[in-house]
Structure 1
Amino acid sequence: MVRLLKALIFLVIVGFIGLVGFAYLGDLTPEQSEMRESLTLDVD
């Protein structure tokens, strides 16, 4: 039971380190592009 608990704590710590590393090093910025669309306004 103690080995299982140690393994679980180890996995949580490694997962947290991986998450922090991905947050700092991962490139999650969206691609930006300019979009233009012409439209006709019908004004009476």
Structure 2
Amino acid sequence: MRLLKIVIVLVVLAFLGLAGYAYFGDMAPRQQEVRQPVDLQTGGAQPPATAAAEAPEGAGDDADSDAEQ
């Protein structure tokens, strides 16, 4: 019974210590300025096409190629 009381007291103290650390500890996030260039691609050049859009003709639908023959 005495061991159970000691374990309960230790658990309560651990919880209070964790709560105190969360409340009083230095938990503020580090802030820094981030600058990253962004290419908006407005105007002139078109964006590159994806690989799926550049599939060769007849490479995907076998039913249409059979009907044409």
TM norm structure 2: 0.51
CA distance in 1, matches of 2:37, 2:26: 33
Gaps of 5+ in 1: none
Root mean square deviation, CA, Å: 1.5
Equivalent in the alignment of 2:20: 21
Q: Determine which structure has greater relative contact order: mean sequence separation of CA pairs < 8 Å that are 6+ residues apart, divided by chain length.
A: 2
Partners of 1:15 and 1:40 lie apart in 2 by 51
Give the match for residue 37 of structure 1. 36
Identity of aligned residues (%): 47
For residues 39 and 19 of structure 2, what CA distance do their matches in structure 1 show?
49
Q: Matched residue pairs, number?
A: 43
Q: TM-score, normalised by structure 1?
A: 0.71
1:8 is matched with which residue? 7
Rg larger for: 2
Structure 2: tracts of 5 or more residues without a match: 44-69
Q: Which has the higher helix share?
A: 1
Q: 4+ residue stretches of structure 1 with deviation over 6 A?
A: none
